[in-house]
Structure 1
């Protein structure tokens, strides 16, 4: 099976994308973290050219850049190559992590009743995740994920590594897809790459 090349905005998305490929039974090839959506968007046509000959999975957040995922895809890549799979997380990749309500609640040590039931409706899922971490009884969770008091940082110092650890080990994409239509669509698209 040909490895699937991956392009993402950043490190958290790297963990999500490679976990999704594993869930779909696909080998991950080279991963290209772009350091933000602006750089990803700028280089997308080049990745699309490469996708003429090999499979590519590009994962990007919708954020508030368009009214819906299909509108953003149409704007960014009106003519995708045969091997290109541009998928949009609504509104951020963290919404897909929150969609596995039981596992994220257990991981953070908070009641499952605090986890949003419709994560695709959250405009800032990353902030929702951090706010849940603030309520964790675990000092380690709070220290890792929540920015220090008075800090200008948006996330805690270990946010990326801790969220990657959760994503790779505890997160269940198939379960999460029941609460996230954008994730369910992504999984179905990736499954079309299997022989």
Structure 2
């Protein structure tokens, strides 16, 4: 939670303790970014004034940056998000069955 707040440049108390309870996570993230101390975050995540876009021009790029550099998915995120924990468990248990055509 604190890592995402630091990344966005907002106070940690602005983030929900249980992210799964957030009805619209994308809109919530954009609203957080509007309050960012970092102009680069605001420019990339918040849509430009007067557009119909729901997110800024580099919303996906910034979330990818966070996910690859700062996110501690197994240490913190799964404890705060039951849905993420369930998805991670399914991925870890996944074992594809390979079949040969014609056999």
TM-score, normalised with respect to structure 2: 0.85
Q: Give the superposed CA RMSD.
A: 1.2
Does residue 108 in structure 1 map to residue 11 in structure 2? Answer: no
Aligned to 2:47: 147
Hey, what's the Cα distance between the residues in 1 that align with 2:92 and 2:47?
37
* Aligned residue in 1 for 2:85: 184
Normalised to the residue count of structure 1, the TM-score between the two structures is: 0.46
Instruction: Please list every run of at least 4 consecutive aligned residues from structure 1 whose deviation after the TM superposition is greater than 3 angstroms.
Output: none
Deviations along 1:99-131, whole A, 9 cap, x unmatched?
A: xx1111010111110011111111100011111
The equivalences for 1:1-195 within 5 A come to 101-174=1-74, 175-193=76-94
- Structure showing greater radius of gyration is 2
Mapped partners of 1:193, 1:153: distance in 2: 36
Structure 1: 5+ residue stretches without partners? 1-100
1:193 to partner: Cα distance: 3.1
Separation (CA, whole Å) in 2 of partners of 1:149 and 1:191 = 42
Length, aligned pairs only? 94
Between structures 1 and 2, the one with greater helix share: 2
Cα distance in 2, alignment partners of residues 193 and 168 from structure 1: 22
Partners of 1:158 and 1:182 in 2: CA distance = 26
Instruction: Structure 2: give runs of 5+ residues left out of the alignment.
Output: 96-103
User: Which structure shows the higher strand fraction?
Assistant: 1
